[in-house]
Amino acid sequence: MTSSIPAKATGRPARASAPRFPARRRLLATATAGLLALGAAVVAQSAAHAGSSPSEGIVCDTAVNNTFTLGTRTGSVSTPDGNSIYSWGFADEGAGHGFQLPGPTLCVTSGDVVTVVLHNTLTEPVSIVFHGQSGVTANGSPAQPQFDAQHALTSLVQAAAPPDADAGVKVGSMTYSFTAGSPGTYLYASGTDVNKQVQMGLFGALVVRPKDHPHQATNAGTSATFNPDHEYLFVLSEIDPDIHLAVERGETPDWSSYQPRYFMINGRSMPDTLAPNNATYLPGQPYGAMVHIQPYSATNSAPALIRYLNAGTENYPFHPHGSDERIVNIDGHPTLGPTGQDLSYNKFDLNVQPGQSLDATMIWTDVDQWNPSTNPIPTKLPAITDQLLVGTDTWFSESPYLGVKGNVPTYITDNNQCGEYYHIAHSHALQQATNYGATFGGMMTLYRIDPPGGCK
Amino acid sequence: MDTSSIDRRRLLLGALGAGSLAAVSRVLLPQDARGAVAAADPVGTGPQKAIALAGTDGWVSMPANAPADPPFFPDPLAPSPFNTYVFGFRDVSGLSDTDLAAQRGKAQISAPILVFDEEDEITLSLYNLGLSQRPDLFDGHTMHWHGFTNAIPLFDGVPELSLSVPVGRRFDYFYKPHDAGTYMYHCHFEDVEHVQMGMTGMVWVRPKQNRTGVNGYPVGTKYAYNDGDGSTRYDREFGIILTELWSAAHYRDAHIQVSDWTDFDASFWLMNGRAYPDTLAPNGANSVARPDGGLQYRPDLDTASGRLQYQPNSSHITCVPGERVLVRLANLGFQDHSLTCDEIDLTVVAEDASLLRNGDVTNYQTTNTVNIGPGESRDLIFTAPAVGDYFLYDRRYSFQNNGGGAGYGGMMTQISVRPSLPAQTQPNL
């Protein structure tokens, strides 16, 4: 395809004159308006509904007999600043899906025998490593590192060869199999030319659920029970557009100048992370990342579960505002002591290491119960002219009170529906919360807290 | 642990009775999360505290012997004896309007340490004094209390989700902290820039246990957390906030240029806004003790600190053998850091303002190296060893320099153990 990547930026225009992604935000606002039009119908569907794809929360691919067919694909990743980046990805051929970033989320149950048939359409060998799974076989033999005649490592595991037109082979193939291990969240990624192939997008998430207890995060009993209507997966990654451009042009990437410019949650950057799953304007990036809950209460006591997975090369110190998260699982290992003590712990910043997964439960509690009649805030909301609302959009309701909506100036796109609260959650390595250096971007999403009973 | 202690879980479950406690003793309930409803005192029942901060810009000094990095460092616009442009907060509590306005252009780094008690009712007034070096910018400022649990957006300081304070205006934030610990604060307006430029500081919340005593320790003993058994008691207290400073970005802000933040490339690595050996220099010379336990610095009146005038927070730790020392760490830089103390065991009792305990199960970690990522906090307690000097430093040696110069620099400070010292009257003294 013809490259549409603009020349590398040497600097940005002065902030006062720089548009803040107006086209993207108008489109996002349209998507939001669509959500508004649906009203109460916009309800997160249970992840347990196999076959249907919820508009929010985790999207699970399941397969008959846990046999998945993943094919390599090329495609483009859209970034909020208008870039379009040539990428590679795994596609769930069994589900009839095409290119996507990240790869399909494969959901299985602990103890299941899982088979993944890899179809390679690229011009180089491709493989899959299932991080954290043991006893993996490749075409029936133990998955093992591969070396060439000079004993140089060529792949972490057996690879599918590229297509060979001379031999009449249109698609290379390799079949991996393993018994799904401890419940948790795991990375699968190419084990061949890993620097390049993982950067290009050959990675995805494997979710292993406890047998008989799919709504627990671990086998550690009910302490890790979560609300299945509020289960979220955050696959965290980064993109260096210069590497992608070199690969697109068939050039050798210069790894010594590796410099990620885009930082993704589920293959999207803020504000695209807010778009629903399968947003039509992000055809190759099907997974959203907005968390959507109501306050903790006696009748809403099961927490949300957020599965963090780092597919990149740097630590991602993820900071949700307004709530702590309790880490119950690390790399599929419950946070238990040697005699089964519950050692789960609260964090206001989850520093996810490369290749690591953290499963965390999350609630938000309306502790202070602000209410305009019975418990008004002790300070004064300034007049709008003294508020310096930022940019062309706001998620502010112009009220301190949950479920109370004030008026937003007409020149600002109002993303608030009924006085719900929004909190930001983002990498606190703050250059990772930008799109090629532009603020309010990157590895960032929102946690939406509706009033009890939800927006009507 | 001592069976006479009252742990948080039992307090929370008391209303359910012992039977319920037995039935659920192995179940972690979500309300054990910090900020649980049952633990909170309602608004209107706590002590009133008022503090005022101002956001503005100013000039500070990185170590004067750091090699030049033209044109970025030293900044040619910097008035003597400074070399680097910053944004920052100042504590302007109690200032007259005239004095308040005069603080424009006199930012400090790191920001004032804010110290509160659990259940204080805090009105924090944030003034935006504007940027004296950059009057062309109309940047707002906000206050984000990083880690404050169960926040509401209006008081969480994210301008896209609430509001920001325009130049020349003020907004009153309100906080009622229900959970002790080590937190931090920063401006969230164009956060990548305002944080890098220096609008970062620490917030400490003292536990209720300080007022009640526990486990036989008398009232007046100081604790980091409501530990129920005295395990977080300490004699001296020090706080260190970690940040990095990228000279080129600071220069560009002073010179009407923009930075691509994904090119971030640190030049200096700071503890409390200073690089070693400045980390050992004393605290600023002009300060008053606040009723809430903090120190209000007036660097604008400090004629004794020379080039460190606007960097009033020392990182030097001093103690007497046998004393228990609390070190509160916070990281608002963009990088991970591994703080090491080669000869003193450090016990990490809390991460991110959460005691490392779950119900009856304590999980303190004793170590010599504490890893802390951006946005994280740690509480360390150590027992002061024999008289001598010990270093606490970032083990990543490539960060142990100032602007790439020769010799030691960066995140390094000293733990000086002396035969005797006056009792500590204020943190970081």
For the residues of B4-23, what is the DSSP string, one character each?
TS--HHHHHHGGGHHHHHHH
Min CA distance, A332 vs chain B (Å)?
19
| Residue A221, min C-alpha distance to chain B (Å) | 8
| Cβ contact A308:A357 at 8 Å | yes
| Rounded-to-10 torsion of CA B178, B181, B184, B189 | -20
Q: Is residue A381 in some structural domain? A: no
Between chains, do A429 and B335 touch, taking CB under 8 Å as contact?
yes
Model confidence at A27, in pLDDT bands (50, 70, 90)?
very low
Give the pLDDT of residue A25. Answer: 33
CB B190 within 8 A of CB A408: no
Task: Read off the pLDDT of each residue in A423-449 and give the average, rounded to a whole number.
Answer: 97
Cβ-defined contact of B262 to A431 (cutoff 8 Å): yes
Closest-CA residue in chain B for A415?
B161
Q: Does A13 touch chain B (CB under 8 A)?
A: yes
Question: How much is the pLDDT for B426?
Answer: 87
Residue B44 has pLDDT above 90, yes or no: no
The pair of three-digit structure tokens given for residue A119, joined into one six-digit string: 């179809």
- Alpha carbon of residue B317 to chain centroid: 15
| Mean of pLDDT values over A396-416 | 95
Distance of alpha carbon B246 from alpha carbon B266, whole angstroms? 4
pLDDT in tens, A244-289: 999 999 999 999 999 999 999 999 999 999 999 999 999 999 999 9
Q: Do the domain assignments include residue A14?
A: no
Confidence of residue B290 (pLDDT cuts 50, 70, 90): confident
Q: Give contacts of B242 with chain A, Cβ < 8 Å.
A: none
Q: What angle do CA A275, A277, A279 make, to 5 degrees?
A: 60
pLDDT of residue B268: 98
- Assign B43 a pLDDT band (cuts: 50, 70, 90): confident
pLDDT tens digits along B99-112: 999 999 999 999 99
Q: Is residue A16 part of a domain?
A: no
How far is it, in rounded angstroms, from Cα A382 to Cα B350? Answer: 37
pLDDT digits (tens, 9 = 90+) for B230-261: 999 999 999 999 999 999 999 999 999 999 99
Min Cα–Cα distance to chain A from B245, Å:
13
End-to-end CA distance of chain B: 33
Contact A103, A202 (CB under 8 A): yes
Per the CB < 8 Å rule, is A396 touching B258?
no
Q: What is the pLDDT of residues B318-329, one digit of tens each?
A: 999 999 999 999
Residue B196 has what DSSP assignment?
Answer: H
**DSSP strands (E only) in B157-286:** 170-175, 181-186, 200-206, 222-223, 233-234, 236-245, 268-271
Q: How far apart are alpha carbons B94 and B113 in whole angstroms?
A: 16
pLDDT classification of A452: cutoffs 50, 70, 90: very high
Question: Does A373 have pLDDT greater than 80?
Answer: yes
Q: Does residue A212 belong to any structural domain of this protein?
A: yes
> In one letter, which amino acid is B299?
P
CATH number where A326 lies: 2.60.40.420
Question: In sequence order, what DSSP letters do the residues of A76-107 get, joined into one string?
Answer: EEE-TTS-EEEEEEEEEGGGT----SS---EE
The model's confidence at residue A344, banded by pLDDT at 50, 70 and 90, is very high
Task: Identify the pLDDT of residue B38.
Answer: 43
- pLDDT surpassing 50 at residue A349: yes
Least confident residue range of A223-227, A240-244, B99-103: A223-227
Question: Which residue among B30, B146, B153 sits closest to A396, beta carbon to beta carbon?
Answer: B153
Say which residues have a Cβ less than 8 Å from residue A315's Cβ, sequence separation at least 6: A351, A352, A353, A354, A429, B336, B373
Helix (H, G, I), strand (E, B) or coil at A248: helix
**CB-CB under 8 Å, A386 with B161:** no
In a domain, A206, yes or no: yes
Closest CA to B78 of B62, B64, B60: B60
From the CB of residue B66, how many other CB atoms can be counted at a distance below 10 Å? 24
Question: Which residues, including other chains, have CB under 8 Å from residue A229's CB and lie 6 or more apart?
Answer: A43, A44, A45, A46, A47, A57
pLDDT surpassing 50 at residue B11: no
- Residues of chain B with Cβ-Cβ distance to A389 below 8 Å are 159, 163-164
Residue of chain B whose alpha carbon sits nearest to that of A328 = B28
Residue B293 to residue B407: CA distance in whole angstroms: 37
Higher local confidence (pLDDT), A13 or A189: A189
Tens digits of residue pLDDT in B367-420: 999 999 999 999 999 999 999 999 999 999 999 999 999 999 999 999 999 999
For B48-98, the pLDDT digits (tens) are 999 999 999 999 999 989 999 999 999 999 999 999 999 999 999 999 999
Lowest-confidence pick of A171-175, B16-20, B409-413: B16-20
Q: A351 vs B376: CB contact, 8 Å cut-off?
A: yes
Give residues 272 to 311 of A whose Cβ lies within 8 Å of B. 296, 301-303
Choose the closest CB to A380 out of B30, B169, B172.
B172
Residue A9 has pLDDT above 60, yes or no: no
Can you say whether residue A267 is alpha, beta or left, with left for phi > 0 and alpha for psi between -120 and 50 degrees? left
Q: Which domain holds residue A205?
A: 22-367+418-449
For residue range A89-131, list pLDDT tens digits in order: 999 999 999 999 999 999 999 999 999 999 999 999 999 999 9
Residues of B in contact with A396 (CB under 8 A): 153-154, 160-163
The CA angle B185-B199-B183, to the nearest 5 degrees, is 15
Inter-residue contact A92 to A70 (CB < 8 Å): yes
| Token duo for residue A281 | 């304007």
Considering only CB atoms, which chain A residues are within 8 Å of B359?
Answer: 342
Considering only residues 172 to 191 of chain A, which have any Cβ-Cβ distance to chain B shorter than 8 Å?
Answer: none
**Contact between A120 and A72 (Cβ < 8 Å):** yes
Query: Which residue bears the tokens 């009203």?
Result: A39
Reported as type and span, the H/E element at residue A438 is strand A438-439
Query: Nearest Cα to A125, choosing from A143, A146, A101, A106?
Result: A146
What does the alpha-carbon distance between residue A266 and residue A286 come to, in Å, rounded to a whole number? 8
The region, left, alpha or beta by phi > 0 then psi within -120 to 50, assigned to residue A135 is left
The one-letter amino acid at B224: A
* Per-residue pLDDT, A12: 34
CB contact under 8 A, A345 and B33: no
Residue B89: phi and psi, rounded to 5, are: -100, 155
Per-residue pLDDT band at B359 (split at 50, 70, 90): confident
Q: Is residue A305 part of a domain?
A: yes
The CA-CA-CA angle for residues B29, A210, A105, to 5°, reads 105
Nearest by CB to residue B334, choosing from A223, A346, A430, is A430
A421 at interface of B, judged by CB pairs closer than 8 A:
yes
Residue A400 lies in a domain: no
Cross-chain residue pair B263–A259, CB shorter than 8 Å: yes
Give the pLDDT score at B199. 98
A394: in domain: no
**Contacting A residues, span 317-376, partner chain B, CB-CB under 8 Å:** 317, 319, 321-324, 326, 337, 341-349, 351, 361, 363-370, 375
**Residues B335, A347: C-beta atoms closer than 8 Å:** no
Nearest-CB residue to B123 (from A296, A379, A434): A379
For residue B28, what pLDDT is reported? Answer: 36
Confidence tier at A220 by pLDDT (50, 70, 90): confident
Measured over all CA atoms, what is the biggest interatomic distance in chain A, rounded to whole angstroms?
79
Inter-residue contact B53 to B92 (CB < 8 Å) = yes
Residue of A nearest to B148 (CA): A322
Task: Identify the band that residue B213 occupies on the pLDDT scale cut at 50, 70 and 90.
Answer: confident
Number of domains in chain A: 1
Helix (H, G, I), strand (E, B) or coil at A398: coil
Confidence of residue B316 (pLDDT cuts 50, 70, 90): very high
Residue A32 has pLDDT above 90, yes or no: no
Q: In angstroms, rounded to a whole number, what is the distance separating the alpha carbons of residues B351 and A9?
A: 39
Residue whose structure tokens are 């252009």: B105
Q: Given an 8 Å threshold on Cβ–Cβ distance, is A368 in contact with B43? A: yes
Per-residue pLDDT, B295: 85
Selected for mutation to probe chain B from A213, A336, A428, A440 (highest B CB count within 10 Å) is A428
Report the amino acid identity of residue A136.
V
A48, pLDDT greater than 80: no
Element (H, E) at A24: helix A22-38
pLDDT at A20 over 70: no
Candidates A381, A427, A439; nearest CB to B193: A439
Q: Which residues pair with A234 in a beta bridge?
A: A308
User: What percent of chain A has a predicted confidence (pLDDT) above 70?
Assistant: 89
Which residues in chain B are closer than 8 Å to A296, comparing Cβ atoms?
A: 30-31, 37
